[in-house]
Amino acid sequence: MMELVPDVRDPYRVIFVCTGNICRSPMAEVVFRWFAAQAGLGDRVVSSSAATGDWHVGERADGRTLDALRRRGYDGSHHRARQFTHADFDRNDLVVALDRSHERILASWARTPDDADKLALMLSIAPRDDGQLDVPDPYYGHPGMFDEVLGMIEGASRALFRQLEPAIRSTS
């Protein structure tokens, strides 16, 4: 498993990236922010999300995403899709790709070794028993797939937060 250790900068910034920024990455952004808030570290962690493509820039999250989040007690209503830019490497401490295609794209956009060192694959942070590395895209899937994907994201976000929490707390 990858070793993730925040430095002393305040706050620690994580961006989650998927294809259109209307399904998976908004879920991860909201869930990770929730974990930080529940731990009393909401002011020490900034969670955001972006897309590799520009198809949905300015749009709200997919309605099925918002419904899945709402059913589990999360609020995704403020989300607006945006595309990842080179400046996101500068603004964030960690760049989390939701699947290997996003990881490859982001790696190709990295301008420096420091940019590339910020990349992580969501399910490599919390390896699954089935060896799956990609959070599946629910966009063209059956309605229940949004809930299934949210469950995967909750597990991986919990693992990521647990890994980062001690270092974030120690810099408070």
Instruction: Pick the catalytic residue from 60, 72, 82, 137.
Output: 137
What is the identity of the amino acid at 18?
C
Q: Is 88 a catalytic residue?
A: no
Residue 91's nearest CA partner among 103, 82, 80 is 82
Q: Which of 13, 23, 24, 88 is catalytic?
A: 24
- Name beta bridge partners: 83: 51
- Which of 18, 23, 99, 115 does the annotation list as catalytic? 18
- Is 24 known to be catalytic? yes
- 49: tokens are 């999300």
DSSP-assigned states of every residue in 69-100:
HHHTT---TT----B--HHHHHH-SEEEESSH
The side-by-side arrangement of strands in the sheet containing 12-18 is 45-51, 12-18, 94-97, 119-121
Do residues 143 and 64 lie in contact, with contact meaning Cβ atoms separated by under 8 Å? yes
- In the annotation, is 137 catalytic? yes
Tokens read off for 115:
């940019």
Q: What amino acid positions are annotated as catalytic residues? A: 18, 24, 137
